[in-house]
Amino acid sequence: MTKLTAHDLAKKQKEISVAEFFERNKHILGFGNATRALVTSIKEGVDNSLDSCEEVNILPEIYVEIKNHEDGECKIIVEDNGPGIVTKQIPHIFGRLLYGSRFHAIRQSRGQQGIGISAVILYGQLTTGKHAKIISKVQQDRPAVVMELAIDTNKNRAEVINRETVHWDKPSGTRVEISIIADYKRGKRFVYDYLQSTSIVNPHAQITYKDAEGEEYLFERTAEATPKKSCEIKPHPYGVELGTLIKMAKNTKARKLSTFLKTEFSSMGDRTTNAVCEKADLDRNANPKEMKREEFLALHRAFKKVKIMAPSTDCLSPISETLIRRSLKHETKEISPEFIITASRPASVYSGNPFQTEVGLVYGGTLPRDKPVQLMRFANRVPLLYQQGGCVITSAISSIDWRRYGFEQPSGKGMPSGPAIFLTHVSSTQIPFTSESKEAIADIPEIENEIKLAFRECARKVQHHIHKKVRRKKTREKFDLITKILPEIAKKSANMIDKPIPSLDAVITKIMDIVWIEDLIEYEKVSRQPVQTTIIPDKESDNTRSEGTITKSKIMVVNYKHNSQKFNLYALIPKDAVVGSVEPKPAKIANNYIKWNLGTIPPANKVDVSFELAGLEKGDFDENDLYVENINPAFVIGADKWEGD
C-alpha cells in the first residue's frame, strides 16, 4: 500500500458547488420529506410573489394551483400580479442559489438568502428530472417571456432550455410552474393552512387556491393598501460581528474612524462616537483602513461598553392591531368567536437588530374547550408551520400561568387548554431562526420577554372581558328583578290585603345602588372618502375608494344610586381612527381616548353620550372600552377605573 501524501490528497480537494451541497442537504431547506416538500415549495413561491408585489406597491393577487399525478408527482403553479422580472435576470433569480436583492439590505422582508425558489426548482429537477417553467411580463404593452430552466449544480448557474415570447393578458406578473415529487394526500391540509395563515397576516393580499381535486378557495383581501414599506437601515454597533466590522472598515470610503462610525452605522452620533473611541482608547482621526486586528477588537468591545441608542425602528413593518383583528375576524367567521383581542409591543432590539411583537387572541365560539389552544406563529408575515415545540413563541406562551385567566393548564406551565387561538407575529430585520428552513425562532431572551409581555396584556384583557361579562350578567339579573319581579310582589301583596300598589322607586335605587353604563355600536355606510387609514395608502387605491364606514358608538349612563352623581367618563378609541361628531361636548379628545366631564345626574336619571369614528371598517371597533374617574368604580357597572393615560 502506497502512502498517500498531501499532494495526493490535494487532487481530491475541490470546490463544492452550493447547489451540490444543498442537493445532499435538502432537509435543511425544508424538503426533508415528500409532505414537507409540497408546502415548502408553495411557501417559497408565495413568499417571493408577496415580496415582489410589496416592493412596487401593488396589492398582491396570487393564484396557487396544484396538479397531482398518480405517480406522486405534483405540478405546483404560483402566479402573481407583481412587477415581473426582466428577461436577463430570470435565469439568475430562478437558477442560482444564493442570488438575490435582499441579502445585503437590513430591513424586514420575507425571503433573504436567495435560496428559496431556486431550491424548489433544484428539488424538482432532482426528483422528477423536469425543467421549471417561468412566465414573466414586466410591462403592459410588451409580450411575456416563457422560459424553461434547469440548474447546473456544478456551476450554480441556470441553463436556459427554451425561451419564447407569448401573449399574456396580465398587465404584469410572474408565473412559476415546477414539477416535484410530493405527498399531496398528506400535504394538502398544510398547504391550505399555510395559505389561510398567510392571508391572515397579509390582509392586503388576495389569494386564490385551486387544489388537485379542482376545488377553488378564495382568501379575500381585508385591507386595501399595501403595508408601509420597510426601509433599509445601517447595521447597529451592538449587532455587528468582529469580522463584519473589519470587512466594513476595509471597504469604507471614510478616511477617519469617527466618520466611518457615524456614516456606516445607525445610532452613532458625535457623542456616542467619541465615547466609543475613548473607551477603545483609539484616535478618532485614525484611518480605518489601516487599523490592526487588536484595534478592531478594542473597538468591538467598546461598542458593548457604551450605551448606544436603539436603532430606528421604521425599518419594521408590523401589521397593526386593527388589521390583525380584522383578518382574524374574517378568517374565524365560522367559529363565531366570543371576542378577539390584540396587543402590540413597541419595537425593541436584540443584539442590535430591531424587532417588534404583535399578538392576537381569538376566544370562544365553537373552538374546543378541552384541547390545547391553537398557535399561529408568524415571522415577518410568513407562517411558521413546523417545529412548534422548538420555537421561542411556544416557550414564551408556556411560561405564562394561564390558569388565572380562565384557561386550563396543569401546574401553571406548558401549553394552556381552552377555546382559543393565539396568534404571534414577530417582525425584525433579522429573524433569528433556529435553522435554514425557517420554521422556528431561536430562544432569544429579549424576544421571549416581549412575546410574554404582549400575551400578558392580552390575557389581562381576556380576564377583564370575562369579569365584565359576569358583572353585567349579575346586573342584568337585577334589572329583571326591578322591572319584572318587584312590581309583581308589590301588586300581589297589595291585592291580598286590599290596598293600593305601593311606590317602588326608593326600593329600586336601594336594590340597584349603582350607576349603569350601557353601550351600543352601529355602523353606517357612507359614500364619502374615509379620512384616514392605518397604513399609508398609495395614491391609486386612495382614489378608487369611494365609500367608507362610520362607526357610531352610543353610550347610556343611568344613575340608579339614591343620590346625585357627577364624574368623568373616558372612551378608548383606536389610534388610527378619526373622531367625528361627539355628544355632549367632550372635555378632551386625545389620540386614543375621548373624555367627558359629565354634569350632575340626579337619581333615576340618565345621560346619553355618543361619538362617531371614521377611518375604520365595519367591525374593527365592535366594543367600547369605558373608564370612569371621580367616582368609586365599585358603584359603576359597564366601566372601570381610569388609571391615567
Q: Which residues form the interface with other proteins (CB under 8 A)?
A: 477-478, 480-481, 484-486, 488-490, 492-497, 499, 502-504, 506-507, 510-511
Q: What are phi and psi of 470, to 5 degrees?
A: -65, -45
Cβ–Cβ contacts within 10 Å for residue 14, how many?
Answer: 7
Q: Which is nearer to other proteins, 18 or 511 (CB)?
A: 511
Q: How far is the CB of 481 from other proteins (least distance, A)?
A: 5
Q: Which is nearer to other proteins, 218 or 485 (CB)?
A: 485
Q: 607 - beta bridge partners?
A: 557
List the strands of the sheet with 144-152, edge to edge: 157-166, 144-152, 132-137, 173-181, 73-80, 61-68, 206-210, 216-219
If residue 247 lies in a helix (H) or strand (E), which one and from where to where? helix 242-251
Q: How far apart are CA 132 and CA 148, in angstroms?
A: 6
Q: How far is the CB of 499 from other proteins (least distance, A)?
A: 6
CB 404 within 8 A of CB 453: no
Q: Which is nearer to other proteins, 97 or 637 (CB)?
A: 637
Q: Which is nearer to other proteins, 507 or 521 (CB)?
A: 507
Q: Which is nearer to other proteins, 485 or 589 (CB)?
A: 485
Q: How far is the CB of 450 from other proteins (least distance, A)?
A: 45
379-394 burial, b if ≥16 CB within 10 A, otherwise e? Answer: bbbbbbbbbeeebbbb
Q: Which is nearer to other proteins, 474 or 588 (CB)?
A: 474
DSSP letter string over 289-305?
GG--HHHHHHHHHHHHH
Q: How far apart are CA 602 and CA 613, in angstroms?
A: 30
Q: Are strands 206-210 and 132-137 parallel, antiparallel or unpaired?
A: unpaired
Q: What are phi and psi of 537, to 5 degrees?
A: -75, 145
* Tally of CA atoms within 13 A in the half-sphere of 86 that contains its CB: 2
Q: Which is nearer to other proteins, 220 or 477 (CB)?
A: 477
Q: How far apart are CA 62 and CA 205, in angstroms?
A: 7
CA distances from 47 to 74, 111, 112, 189, 384 (A): 19, 7, 10, 19, 12
Q: How far is the CB of 504 from other proteins (least distance, A)?
A: 7
Q: Which is nearer to other proteins, 503 or 581 (CB)?
A: 503
Q: How far is the CB of 519 from other proteins (least distance, A)?
A: 23
Q: Which is nearer to other proteins, 503 or 527 (CB)?
A: 503
Q: How far is the CB of 226 from other proteins (least distance, A)?
A: 54
Q: How far is the CB of 505 from other proteins (least distance, A)?
A: 8
Q: How far apart are CA 203 and CA 314, in angstroms?
A: 20
Q: How far is the CB of 506 from other proteins (least distance, A)?
A: 4
CB 39 within 8 A of CB 29: no
If residue 278 lies in a helix (H) or strand (E), which one and from where to where? helix 270-280
Q: How far is the CB of 212 from other proteins (least distance, A)?
A: 56
Q: Which is nearer to other proteins, 161 or 485 (CB)?
A: 485
Q: How far is the CB of 600 from other proteins (least distance, A)?
A: 23
